[in-house]
Amino acid sequence: MKKRYALTDLDCANCAAKMENAIKKIDGVKDATVSFMTQKMTIEADDARFDDIMREVVAVCKKVEPDCIIHL
């Protein structure tokens, strides 16, 4: 399943790259992109565990860039 989320207060491009790397390392995530330009995050992950994975994604993002809010 592939889903896209809007982000607010994603302030630095380097953080976007770091978030992207961290999300890709989560188990079950097939692909992820965090676009600084469009302030959007696209996540492709296992259908069955999608909600669990998203919780992990939020946690990981909080670690990298605490100011950034993901609109689920």
Partner 1 sequence: MHDLSRKQKQMLVRIFTAAALLLAVELLRSTGLLPAGGLTATLCYLVPYAVIGWDVLWRAVRNISHGQVFDENFLMALATVGAFGTAEYSEAVFVMLFYQVGEWFQDYAVGKSRRSIAALMDIRPDVANLERDGQVVEVDPEDVAVGDIIVVKPGERIPLDGQVVEGSAALDTAALTGESAPRDVAPGDTVISGCVDQTGLLRIKVTRPCSESTVSKILDLVENASEKKSSSEQFITKFARYYTPCVVIAAALLFAVPSLSLAVMDPLPAFLAGTSWSDWLHRALIFLVISCPCALVISVPLSFFGGIGGASKCGILVKGGNYLEALAHTETVVFDKTGTLTQGLFTVTSVEAQPPFSSQQVLSYAALAEHWSDHPISLSLKAACQTPLDTSLLTDVEEIAGHGVRAVIGGKEVCVGNRRLMERQHVDCPPCGHPGTLVHVSVEGRYAGYIVIADLPKPDARAAIADLKASGVARTVMLTGDSQDVAAAVAKELGLDDFHAQLLPADKVALTEKLLASTSPNGKLAFVGDGINDAPVLSRADIGIAMGAMGSDAAIEAADIVLMDDKPSKIATAMRISRKTLRIVHQNIWFALGVKGAVLLLGAFGIASMWAAVFADVGVAFLAILNASRCLRVKEFQA
Interaction of residue 1 with partner 1, rule CB under 8 A: no
Quick one: 48 or 58, whose CB is closer to partner 1? 58
CB atoms within 10 A of CB 9: 10
Interaction of residue 13 with partner 1, rule CB under 8 A: yes
Token digits of residue 43 = 């996540």
In terms of Cα–Cα distance, which of 16, 1, 25 is closest to 67? 16
In terms of Cα–Cα distance, which of 18, 31, 27 is closest to 61? 18
Among 26, 33, 49, 52, binds partner 1 (CB under 8 A): 33
Residue ranges in contact with partner 1 by CB under 8 A: 11-15, 17-18, 21, 33, 35-40, 42, 62-64, 66
